[in-house]
Amino acid sequence: MCGRFSLFSSHNLLQERFQFEFSETTDWQPRYNIAPSQQVLAIIYDETKRKGQFLRWGLIPFWAKDQKIGYKLINARSETITEKSSFRHLISRKRCLILADGFYEWKKTKDGKQPYFIQLASGQPFAFAGLWDCWEKDDQIIRSCTLITTSPNLLMKSIHDRMPSILQPNEENAWLDPKLQDKKYLKSLLKPYPEEEMIRTPVSTLVNSPRNDEPDCMTPIGEDDLFFSN
């Protein structure tokens, strides 16, 4: 699964990289430890253009009776995305990009769980493949999303048995295109990202608490020997 990530690139850099209009009036703030139930920056295709908006992380399907279901739906498995009732309708009409600079994963060790920060070797921001929905009850409206996961690449395999589905830049348009309805092709985009284009770094357990949202969450604490020893 993927339960934490970061997005600290500037607003201008993100708009230049992903070519979207940002309609929110909220001041842009860098985030270093984004956790489920918090707001994440996502891009949807709004009829004629890419639109950036904040969505709550943890999908609340439109048919849900209680918004608490969102805590169980922070991730969607790519293998069953066209089968599960929470996701199968969204794959055709409500796909989104969830923007990030990196994500965290925990490796089980004899001394406990060691967090790792994983990012692109280029240091550039990227997009997770996601799904979104709009839930309404009484006078409450919540737009929420889930992050799709897939099998791990070699870089991730020794840490965890899942990794987020990161789209290549040339795949992002297809993922957002509402006219594209070929589910087999869409699922083919949800594959492990090439390990040679990623790096991982052991970091402080400061990231364990979502209350800690600061650059120190990403501070390296030593050399990574897992990639070569497993």
- Indicate which residues carry an active-site annotation: 2, 105
- The secondary structure of residue 122, as a DSSP letter, is T
- C-beta of residue 94 within 8 angstroms of C-beta of residue 128: no
- 3-state SS assignment for residue 169: helix
**Euclidean distance between CA atoms 114 and 108, whole angstroms:** 6
- How many alpha carbons fall within 13 Å on the CB side of residue 54? 12
DSSP symbols for 171-230: HHHHHH-TT---HHHHHHT--PPPGGGEEEEEB-GGGGSTT--SGGGG-B-S---HHHH-
How many residues are there in the chain? 230
SS (H, E, C) 22-87: ECCCCCCCCEEEECCCCEEEEEEEECCEEEEEEEEECCCCCCCCCHHHHHHCCEEEHHHCCCCCCC
- C-beta of residue 56 within 8 angstroms of C-beta of residue 69: no
**Euclidean distance between CA atoms 179 and 17, whole angstroms:** 23
